[in-house]
Copies of this chain bind each other. A is one copy, B any other.
Amino acid sequence: MGEMKPRAETKNHDSGDAYWRTWAARYRAELVRRIMPFWMEHGLDRENGGVYTCLDRDGSLMDSTNSVWFQGRFGWMAAYAFNHVRRDAAWLKASRSCCEFLERHCFDADGRAYFEVSAEGVGLRRRRYVFSECFAAMAYAEYALASGEAQWGDKALDLFRRIRMFMAEPERRMPPKYEPCVRTRGHSLTMILINVANVLKQISDDPVLDAQITESIGLLRRYFLHPEFKAVLETVGQNGEFLDTMAGRTINPGHCIETSWFLMDVAVARRDDKLLGTALTILDWSWAWGWDRIFGGIISFRDCRNLPPQSYEQDMKFWWPQCEAIIATAYAWRLTGRAKYRRWHEMVSEWAWGHLRDRYYSEWYGYLHRDGSVAQPAKGNLFKGPFHIPRMLVKAWELTRDL
């Protein structure tokens, strides 16, 4: 689909007040009236603690297997909504329930977290990656901030140090998927650690956090940005070299757009204009690769040499890339006032609201075909739950409410 030509840009923060006011009101109302209530009512497990995510369109439970990612993600999300939108005691309690479920049931004897546990908390499956641990650390930190209970902040920092240790010696922790001769670097963990460290910085001034952020940004710039394709690649060689394989050519535009707004967070905190430039470059490149000029929406995968991507979901439209694009375009407009970002915000917001949102039951669909039709209507599974959509609603509301 090639690159989009940006139109002439105008700096004009004054225009479109009504536009942003309308969206800000929608974000808050959707969060408070439809998204949080859906998970509070159907997801929370009042018997065992923690949260279920395998919910059908109407909220009915399809599978009681618990996603460990989502104990952390909702533990974080409920406290984040409490901290930023409304000091709702039920949200705080939900966050605590997820944090306690994590502590009690979700870690194995060697300190690694599970990926799946039963409703009663029996560990069912582990995976190699440390995402479960990352989301747990975010939950502990955000809950500590919400509740004022400092011990959860200590737990968060301990876990963060453990994550860095696991990453430094991956061989000792779990057998790698590929043989030792295969040495590649992945974009996703580099990126998520920026966000985890940012969350922890709210409750700790430990220098390890800023060191992690600086390190991750360095890795991103050195290895993953590939100007020859105007793309951030998901998988590169040990020294950032382009791998001309199906995995090496993969672009995940939604993922890159998420990275771009994580970097905007850091650029604002550090007043770092050069970093803002990097963030905007990533957004511009990734929008050009990701926006579907035929059907609209951000597509799942592209191949940087325009060969057919091989993942089944390659041309589907998932919920989360649309959420990341809404945040990133609103953020970019707020920081630069460039008209194209408002235009992109409108394109992706109208598309997401029109196609993902279920008008009859609460919450949004997650899995659409390329043309925007619903592929399957469940509201959650082990990978979709109360995270990207409510995070987008809170973040976008904060970015737009005073525009």
Contact residues of A between 132 and 180, Cβ < 8 Å to B = 175, 177-179
**Cβ contact within 8 Å between B124 and A181:** yes
**Cβ contact within 8 Å between B246 and A310:** no
Q: Is A377 an interface residue (CB 8 A)?
A: yes
Smallest beta-carbon distance A28→chain B, Å: 30
**Known: A62-B307, A308-B56. Is A125-B314 also a contact (CB below 8 A)?**
no
**Cβ contact within 8 Å between B124 and A179:** yes
Nearest CB to that of A378 among chain B residues?
B308
**Cβ contact within 8 Å between A124 and B178:** yes
Copies assembled:
2
**Cβ contact within 8 Å between A179 and B63:** no
Contact residues of A between 46 and 64, Cβ < 8 Å to B = 54, 56-57, 62-64
Contact residues of A between 356 and 387, Cβ < 8 Å to B = 367, 369-370, 375-378, 381
Name 16 A/B residue pairs within 8 A (Cβ), A-sorted: A54-B246, A54-B310, A62-B308, A63-B244, A63-B246, A64-B245, A65-B246, A122-B181, A124-B181, A307-B378, A308-B376, A310-B376, A312-B312, A312-B375, A313-B313, A315-B376
Q: Is A126 an interface residue (CB 8 A)?
A: yes
Q: How far is the CA of A309 from the CA of B378 in the complex (A)?
A: 9
Q: Is A37 an interface residue (CB 8 A)?
A: no
Contact residues of A between 243 and 263, Cβ < 8 Å to B = 244-246
Q: Which residues of B contact A316 (CB under 8 A)?
A: 312
**Cβ contact within 8 Å between B125 and A179:** yes
Nearest CB to that of A307 among chain B residues?
B62
**Known: A62-B246, A62-B307, A381-B246. Is A312-B367 also a contact (CB below 8 A)?**
yes
Q: Is A337 an interface residue (CB 8 A)?
A: no
Contact residues of A between 173 and 194, Cβ < 8 Å to B = 175, 177-179, 181-182
Q: Is A296 an interface residue (CB 8 A)?
A: no
Q: Is A123 an interface residue (CB 8 A)?
A: yes
Smallest beta-carbon distance A218→chain B, Å: 28
Chain A 278-316 interface mask (CB, 8 Å, partner B; 1/0): 000000000000000000000000000001111111111
Q: How far is the CA of A308 from the CA of B375 in the complex (A)?
A: 9
**Cβ contact within 8 Å between B125 and A307:** no
**Cβ contact within 8 Å between A377 and B65:** no
